[in-house]
């Protein structure tokens, strides 16, 4: 990716302005109160952020993945948790646009793009996390329709979302036996576990999604039978870029806060920002973020052009950006001294929020597996 275009600079500036006005002032309180601000998400949809990758003719913004990483980095400077939920919601919207029939797109995309119908992605299960191809949720044919039974774990937005993209087993073992379905919140047999008590990401609910004899008509199958795993992995390539971008945005905010704090704070008769050791620390943090950003932009460009190495590059970018983002935020907390440990300064929240990015959308260990397979040709 070369220099940003004027349009891309405008997208990033507008989104950062939205984050500054509508997310940042409330982020600490939302985290403390475990409040999921759907009203603010709908305001974001007014900027086109509910259907970032959805085609314009379907009501979306029609942006590229290169545009998208700018959007989610900018959003995360205000609140990584809310930005990350929007990234997941957009993954669902893109999958419906990409794989849905005309009738399916007409049914679900207007609500998704407006965030009137928030979306959740349901792949992980209590016994199938990193080994997604081992999922046990089943969908059995019943006349023209399907009946779904199973439990999904760690589902962002569960309970609040209206649209659930559920991966279920319709055939034999392994990835080829998996199909994708769209489940709606008011479908009989759908219920939710309690909101999980988490280290971070408290501004969005995370709950089990329980499917107990959920009966769906034939029109709820997304794509062809047996294509679910391929659909899920295609969605995750983009989702990994979004989460990586959210890590960069949170870390960038933490770096800027640390720089401001050191400029104000005095010790031993001088401002801390004048200490060369601390200047070097800031310089290294900024350099690491810029390196991660460059890799992320390259991966996004590869996904946009359909490069065969795109999944590998997305895995590299997700691993590197989420590790780097967490480390930079943690360093920013250290530079604040004891104040960094206090909730009111907002730094410890960023650290807690960014920690889970190293786990979700495929753990960073799985990202290494993907990269290693690309290098060695192993299956």
pLDDT of residue 3: 82
Residue 193, CA distances (Å) to 72, 208, 212, 295 in order: 29, 5, 13, 38
300: helix, coil or strand? helix
Question: In whole angstroms, what is the distance from residue 324 CA to residue 329 CA?
Answer: 9
Nearest CA-CA partner of 374 in 308, 298, 321:
308
pLDDT of residue 5: 93
328: helix, coil or strand? helix
pLDDT of residue 133: 83
The whole-model pTM stands at 0.96
pLDDT of residue 128: 86
Per-residue pLDDT tens digits for 313-363: 999 999 999 999 999 999 999 999 999 999 999 999 999 999 999 999 999
| Rg over CA atoms, the chain | 21
Per-residue pLDDT tens digits for 149-167: 999 999 999 999 999 999 9
Buried-state track 97-129, b at ≥16 Cβ within 10 A, e below 16: bbbbeeebbebbbebbbbbebbbbbbbbbeebb
Active-site residue, from 58, 125, 312, 361: 361
361 is known as an active-site residue: yes
Question: In whole angstroms, what is the distance from residue 136 CA to residue 225 CA?
Answer: 16
Residue identified by tokens 């993954």 is 91
Along the chain (379 residues), what's the average pLDDT of each consecutive run of 10 residues?
86 97 98 98 97 97 97 98 98 98 98 98 91 91 96 98 98 94 98 97 98 97 96 95 98 98 92 95 98 98 97 98 98 97 96 98 96 87
Nearest CA-CA partner of 87 in 312, 212, 308, 247:
247
pLDDT of residue 1: 54
Look at strands 178-184 and 221-222 and give their pairing: antiparallel
- The count of other CB atoms within 10 Å of the CB of residue 165 is 27
Look at strands 145-156 and 190-192 and give their pairing: unpaired
pLDDT of residue 379: 62
Question: In whole angstroms, what is the distance from residue 84 CA to residue 162 CA?
Answer: 18
């Amino acid at each position: 990716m070369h220099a940003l275009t004027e349009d891309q600079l405008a997208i990033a500036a507008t989104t950062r302005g939205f984050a500054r006005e509508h997310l940042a002032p409330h982020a600490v309180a939302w985290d403390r109160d475990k409040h999921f601000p759907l009203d603010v998400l709908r305001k974001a949809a007014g900027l086109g952020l509910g259907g970032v990758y959805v085609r314009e003719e379907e009501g979306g913004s029609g942006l590229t993945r290169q545009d998208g990483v700018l959007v989610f980095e900018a959003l995360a400077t205000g609140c990584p948790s809310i930005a990350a939920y929007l990234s997941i919601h957009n993954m669902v919207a893109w999958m419906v646009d990409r794989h849905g029939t005309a009738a399916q797109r007409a049914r679900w995309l207007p609500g998704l793009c407006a965030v009137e119908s928030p979306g959740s992605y349901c792949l992980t299960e209590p016994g199938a996390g990193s080994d997604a191809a081992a999922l046990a949720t089943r969908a059995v044919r019943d006349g023209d329709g399907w009946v779904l039974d199973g439990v999904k774990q760690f589902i962002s937005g569960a309970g609040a979302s209206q649209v659930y993209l559920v991966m279920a087993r319709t055939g034999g073992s392994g990835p080829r036996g998996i199909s994708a379905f769209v489940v709606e919140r008011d479908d009989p047999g759908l219920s939710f576990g309690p909101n999980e008590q988490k280290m971070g990401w408290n501004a969005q609910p995370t709950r089990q999604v329980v499917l107990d004899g959920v009966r769906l008509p034939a029109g709820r199958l997304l794509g062809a039978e047996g294509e679910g795993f391929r659909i899920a992995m295609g969605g995750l390539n983009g989702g990994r870029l979004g989460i990586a971008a959210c890590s960069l945005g949170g870390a960038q905010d933490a770096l800027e806060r640390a720089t401001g704090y050191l400029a104000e704070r005095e010790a031993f008769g001088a401002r801390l920002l004048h200490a060369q050791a601390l200047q070097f620390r800031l310089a290294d943090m900024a350099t690491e973020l810029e390196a991660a950003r460059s890799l992320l932009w390259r991966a996004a460009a590869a996904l946009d052009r359909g490069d065969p190495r795109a999944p590998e590059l997305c895995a590299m970018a997700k691993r590197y950006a989420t590790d780097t983002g967490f480390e930079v935020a943690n360093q920013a907390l250290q530079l604040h001294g004891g104040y960094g440990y206090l909730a009111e300064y907002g730094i410890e929240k960023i650290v807690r929020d960014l920690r889970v990015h190293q786990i979700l959308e495929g753990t960073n260990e799985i990202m290494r597996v993907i990269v290693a397979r690309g290098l060695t040709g192993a299956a």
